[in-house]
Amino acid sequence: MQATTRTSIGIIIVLIACAVAASAPALAPYDPTKSSVFFLQEPSRAHLFGTDELGRDILSRVIYGTRTSLLIGAGAAFLAALLGAPVGLIAGYYGGKVDLLAVQAIDLFIALPGLVLALIITVMVGPSLQNLVVVLGFVMWPVVARLVRGQTLLVREQPYIEAAVAAGGSSSWIICRHVWPNILRTVAAQFAITVSFAIITSASLSFLGLGIPPPTPDWGSMVRSGFDVLAINPLLSFAPGAAIALVVLGFYLIGSSIE
């Protein structure tokens, strides 16, 4: 598949997801947190995806869950870039002891599995939307920092950087004017991939019971709640699971297509 095709497919998926999240009150046929006596109903005209164990409409919860997942994914990716990009720029440009200390810190975090580290920190701080954003951003900043450092090392050796130094430009000016614009495309690609990683990691934490507390719609917790009733209504797990896979695929296609 060509890069332009992958990018187009990814953009379409992400735009649809954003549109669904923005217009959730208009699209959702029911209140996603309102219970009813129609427990575990099969798909019907009244409930296209059926209902869950508390009688809540599954379709409405999947639609509103788009908001939650996009907020967590974008928020965590932004925080990871906010923390990791400056570290990578400073380490890659200045080198020496600064680079050595930064690389050791980055390697220390990367050596720990991201999901395990997020699991441990979430247990300590407690599950909530804000905490998930902070935890996932903190877990993923070393990946951004390592990428930015590597790109900065390449750009630093270019002739135009040497010319800027010879012209008397300050380090901060060179970084902001010449280094950062030339690595921004790569950082944007990593941002999209980080969003996809944050979405699937937050869903994993929710599946383990450490996600957003109920009754807020969350795809990961929906997959877990339907796990025990697959024989009654498999859409309780399959619908949010398919939504996770589709949105993650969309962001990944965008990120992997940016060169």
Q: Cβ neighbours of residue 174 under 8 Å, at least 6 residues apart?
A: 93, 161, 164, 165
Work out the pLDDT band at 226, boundaries 50, 70, 90.
Answer: confident
- For the cut 90, the answer to whether the pLDDT of residue 135 exceeds it is yes
pLDDT at 42: 86
Q: What is the 3-state secondary structure (H, E, C) of the chain?
A: CCHHHHHHHHHHHHHHHHHHHHCHHHHCCCCCCCCCCCCCCCCCCCCCCCECCCCCEHHHHHHHHHHHHHHHHHHHHHHHHHHHHHHHHHHHHHCHHHHHHHHHHHHHHHCCCHHHHHHHHHHHHCCCHHHHHHHHHHHHHHHHHHHHHHHHHHHHCCHHHHHHHHCCCCHHHHHHHHHHHHHHHHHHHHHHHHHHHHHHHHHHHHHCCCCCCCCCCCHHHHHHHHHCCCCCCCHHHHHHHHHHHHHHHHHHHHHHHCC
Give the pLDDT of residue 227. Answer: 83
Q: Is the pLDDT of residue 140 over 90?
A: yes
Stronger pLDDT, 123 or 147, i.e. the higher one: 147
Q: What is the pLDDT of residue 89?
A: 94
What count of other Cβ atoms lies within 10 Å of the Cβ of residue 63?
23
- pLDDT at residue number 1: 58
Which residues have CB under 8 Å from 3's CB, separation 6+?
A: 257, 259
pLDDT of residue 25: 92
Q: How confident is the model at residue 37 (pLDDT cuts 50, 70, 90)?
A: confident
Mean of the per-residue pLDDT values of the chain: 90
- Per-residue pLDDT, 61: 94
- Whether 259 has a pLDDT exceeding 60, the answer reads no
Which of 33-42, 63-72, 95-104 has the highest mean predicted lDDT (pLDDT)?
63-72
CA distance 234 to 50: 10
> Residue 167: is its pLDDT beyond 90?
no
Q: Contact at 8 Å (CB) between 242 and 223?
A: no
Average pLDDT over residues 123-141: 90
Mean per-residue pLDDT, 50-78? 93
- The whole-angstrom separation of Cα 218 and Cα 212 is 7
Segment 241-248 mean pLDDT: 95
Mean pLDDT of 90-103: 91
